[in-house]
Amino acid sequence: MAFINHTSLLSPTPKLLFSLTSPNPSPLIKPFLTHKRSLSLHTKYGATTPSVVEEEEEGNNVLLSSTREEERRESRILVDYDWTEEWYPLYLTKDVPDDAPLGLTVYHKQLVLYRDGSGELRCYEDRCPHRLAKLSEGQLIDGRLECLYHGWQFEGEGQCVKIPQLPANAKIPKAACLKPYEIRDSQGVIWVWMSQKTPPNLNKIPWFENFARPGFTDISTIHELPYDHSILLENLMDPAHVPISHDRTDWTAKREDAQPLSFEVTERTDRGFAGWWGRARDNSSPNFLRFEAPCVLQNNREIVDEKTGVTNYFTGLFLCRPSGQGKSMLIVRFGNTRGSPLIKLFPKWYFHQNACKVFEQDMGFLSSQNEILMKEKVPTKELYLNLKSSDTWVVEYRKWMDKVGHGMPYHFGHGTIWLPQEPAVVEHAPAGLVAGISASSPAKGGIGTMHAPNFSNRYFRHVIHCKGCRTVVKAFEAWKKGLSAVAVALTALAILVSGRQWKTILLVSAALCSGGAYACSKAIAMNTTNFIRTHRRL
């Protein structure tokens, strides 16, 4: 994922890799875990407690590792945590549809979100009490949420107000009601409180100071992604991958800029961590990163204008919602108080599609990473070779998971693991000749299938969630049809007229209309197809 850039990865050379595989490994230890599930669950899933690599060997000083005592102490640290007693980012407020219910998930909990007749947002469990049909498959009738199975209608705090099958003198049963969820609109994002037992804690709703500053503007997008939210967060807090994975995606990511990074952790709390980072060779760390429970990551930077002395603020904000095992939904918000004049030359949908391309560049290896974690069934410390010069935030995040994972439906920690009960649904970006042809056409996921659901396709990952991009696609489709029709008509007229001058004018006009239709097709393709990574450089 594109960061606030100027970042890179220290790529191990073969010589370095040789030094990491020393013939004199440190002793393996198995620290006692006081995690209330650790011992039984590790046995159940065949996982073992991770071994500890001690920094006793000269060649291992590039690795992030712990001493034996640190590992033993860290494995005992647990804090109170209940995943339901948190606010989760559901959707961008501006993109909530006015005319249809919206089905969303948080972990395994299915929710339905909609605007009622007065424009107020409502959120319920996505289940009709009659026969358990999904209400998100229903419709809105006069501001009421109607189940399309038998037409039961709901409103307000979830009360049922209409059952077509009831006799005229019968009363609606009291049990025919929905479970409501508390939601709040804060700084353009809809947040949901997942507990139905504990009253919502309004103090836990995140507040982002930069977004409240005068003159602060942002470009916000939303994306569905085919890997776990913890994999997504790990990727987003990894600036080292940007020059390699996103080389030339924009003017800041260049693979020749891959280099060692420096990190300084300044805060560790029960709810996350924070610190500074930058390029090691610059001997400075101008970027400030903060992770806060349950799934909020922000990367901030301040730049003082030398001429005016005015401080300009820049933020990359990532709100990562767990939407099921092997799936996540991300709200991305890049903003600043000093926008570039060049940005105004491009429409917003162009930046949205560039963001889609960035996520598609990461998609294949991140979903495969998710798959490997599920198969190996061991904590990340046994699988990752973490470098001090690139992976500090990743290790901090996984160690935080060790402390709070007992309060989640599942987790992949640094030294502990609790696997989900159901396996991940792994999706990969398409590859090969047929996929390439399909993705290069306006068809959404396949040749000749304009609206076939295909969740490896950009249209279904972003456009259906974005009002602006949906409007753009419809407009380009209308222009394409209109220009194509005009081009055909002008060509026909050119054939019929006898004057050479008129033939030329009509044919040139037809060519211009055809060119416009082609441009519209390309714009539609940007919004409805996938980027295909070229894996080999020729």
**pLDDT per residue as tens digits for the range 322-379:** 998 889 999 999 999 987 777 778 888 888 988 998 998 898 889 889 889 989 999 9
Per-residue pLDDT tens digits for 416-465: 999 887 665 555 544 445 445 544 444 444 444 444 556 667 888 898 89
pLDDT band for position 74 (cuts 50, 70, 90): low
Residue 226, pLDDT score: 87
Q: Which residues contact 488 (CB under 8 A, 6 or more apart)?
A: 510
Residue with tokens 């060119």: 515
Per-residue pLDDT tens over the stretch 168-227: 889 999 999 999 999 999 999 999 999 999 999 999 999 999 999 999 999 999 999 988
| Residue in the structure block whose two tokens are 């470098």 | 387
Q: Characterize the bridge pairing of strands 217-225 and 328-336.
A: antiparallel
Tell me the residue length of the chain: 538
Residue 496: in which H helix or E strand, if any? helix 467-496
End-to-end CA distance of the chain: 25
What's the mean pLDDT in 109-138?
Answer: 95
On the question of pLDDT at 90 being above 90, the answer is yes
pLDDT (average), residues 63-87: 80
Say if residue 17's pLDDT is above 70. no
The pLDDT value recorded for residue 535 is: 55
- Identify the band that residue 532 occupies on the pLDDT scale cut at 50, 70 and 90: low
Across 255-272, average pLDDT: 94
Greatest CA separation for the chain: 94
Task: Respond yes or no on whether the N-terminal peptide bond of residue 294 is cis (omega within 30° of 0).
Answer: yes
pLDDT score of 69: 65
Per mean pLDDT, which range of 292-301, 305-314, 500-509 is the poorest?
Answer: 305-314
pLDDT-derived band at 70 (thresholds 50, 70, 90) equals low
C-alpha–C-alpha distance, residues 229 and 328, integer Å: 5
| Residue keyed to tokens 């108080």 | 337
Per-residue confidence (pLDDT) for residue 75, from 0 to 100: 61
Greater confidence, 360 or 400? 400
Q: What is the mean pLDDT of the chain?
A: 82
pLDDT at 471 over 70: yes
What mean pLDDT is predicted for residues 41-55? 36
pLDDT of 147 reads 96
- Among 403, 477, 465, 516, residue whose Cα is nearest residue 36: 403
Give mean pLDDT, residues 153-174: 94
- Output phi, psi for 140, to 5 deg: -105, 125
Cβ(519)–Cβ(477) below 8 Å: no
Residue 110: beta bridge partners?
105
| Alpha carbons within 13 A on the beta-carbon side of 36 | 9
Instruction: Kindly report the backbone phi and psi dihedral angles of residue 237, in degrees, each rounded to the nearest multiple of 5, phi listed first.
Output: -95, 20
Higher pLDDT, 159 or 532: 159
Phi and psi for 278 in degrees, rounded to 5?
A: -175, -170
How many CA atoms are closer than 13 Å to the CA of 508, on its beta-carbon side? 6
Name 292's bridge partners. 272, 296
